[in-house]
Amino acid sequence: MPGLVRLIHPAPALTVIALSAALGGILSIQTGGGEVAGWRLVLTTVAVLGSQVLTGALNDWADRDRDRLAQRSKPIPAGAVSARSALVLAAFGVLLQLAASVPLGWPALLLGLAASASAMAYNLWLSRTPLSVVPYLVSFGLLPLWVAAGVGVPLERVAAAPLLVGPFAAAAHLANTLRDFDADAHLGSHNLAQTLGRRLAFALAWGITMAVGIGVGISFVLGGRTDGVGAVLGIAGLVAVAQGVAGPHRLWIGMLAAAVCWTAAWALATG
């Protein structure tokens, strides 16, 4: 069981699930949703959970030989779970996502499947190419639209969100791959971080994330759309990212925290 849990990549998975639940909950409250909206939020969160199960398990399955060569302490090369178990868990994730999405209607179903398909393309192919950032842009760009459709909120309510999420997602990808930079280089990976080089990739990851947080915060303040709670959340996210200047691992953790803070702050400011 611990090995199966590790296959899901619990830290980033829980962050994405919490981010989705927070955004969906705030959107539902702001639009005056009742009991029906509450059930839609539960189903949407479960669908995102299924997608994360699929993405994490398939990632470890696809990288099992590379992880073994790099001597990474991953569940499959460590013998904690089998490659077949990882595929079974990934299939369970697909079924869970579908079961939760079908009652939500076609828009939520299709947006969720598109986000998961993009993540699968990353795991099976693009993660080792200079185009490794593309699935991050697609999957995370679709996430606010997926959540909005899931809770029954008009998509125009979050139409600008992908433009904000895109740069953040690109920076998150760079920060994540920088954590395994040496091992990936040894295995001949040509992902975007390897193509850019360690120093430039880290500078871009940190700088883009800070620029997104500061730029959006300033725009909301000038537009008079920030209250006390939103300001606190925005600053908390900036502090979390700022401490990441110490290195890729701390930046990655800071970005996970900032993602949740800034999503909540954005939803409150645009209410």
User: What are the residue ranges spanned by the domains of the chain?
Assistant: 1-129, 160-271
- At residue 269, does pLDDT exceed 80? no
At residue 205, the pLDDT reads 95
Contact 263, 23 (CB under 8 A): yes
The lowest-confidence range among 83-92, 171-180, 205-214, 218-227 is: 218-227
Quote the pLDDT of residue 104. 96
pLDDT of 193 reads 93
- Compute the C-alpha angle 104/110/115, nearest 5°: 115
User: Distance between CA atoms of 67 and 162, rounded to whole angstroms?
Assistant: 32
Lowest mean pLDDT segment, chosen from 103-107, 205-209, 258-262: 258-262
Q: What pLDDT score was predicted for residue 33?
A: 65
pLDDT band at 146; cut points 50, 70, 90: very high
Q: Looking at the predicted structure, is the pLDDT value of residue 226 above 80?
A: no
Is the per-residue pLDDT at 268 higher than 80? no
* Residue 270: predicted pLDDT: 67
Residue 271 has pLDDT above 70, yes or no: no
- Residue 168: partners with Cβ closer than 8 Å, 6 or more residues away: 140, 208, 209, 212, 255, 259, 262
Under a CB-based contact definition with an 8 Å cutoff, are residues 161 and 178 in contact?
Answer: no
| CA dist., res. 147 & res. 61, Å (int) | 28
| Number of other residues whose CB lies within 10 A of the CB of residue 144 | 27
The total of other beta-carbon atoms located within 10 Å of residue 51's CB is 29
Average pLDDT of span 138-162: 91
How far is residue 96's CA from residue 47's CA, in Å, rounded to a whole number? 6
pLDDT given at position 35: 64
Residue 2, pLDDT score: 81
Residues of the chain with pLDDT > 70, as a percent, come to: 98
Condensed to tens digits (0 to 9), the pLDDT of residues 4-58 reads 888 888 888 998 999 899 889 888 887 776 666 789 999 999 999 999 999 999 9
Whole-number pLDDT of residue 19: 86
DSSP classification of residue 32 = T
Residue 187: its pLDDT value, please? 80
Cα distance between residue 100 and residue 197, in whole Å: 41
Rounded-to-integer distance, Cα 85 and Cα 109, Å: 26
> Looking at the chain, which runs of residues are DSSP E strands?
none
Least confident span in 57-61, 142-146, 187-191, 254-258? 187-191
Q: What is the CATH number of domain 1-129?
A: 1.10.357.140
- Band the pLDDT of 264: cuts 50, 70, 90: confident
d(CA 204, CA 43): 36
pLDDT digits (tens, 9 = 90+) for 44-94: 999 999 999 999 999 999 988 887 887 777 899 888 899 999 999 999 999
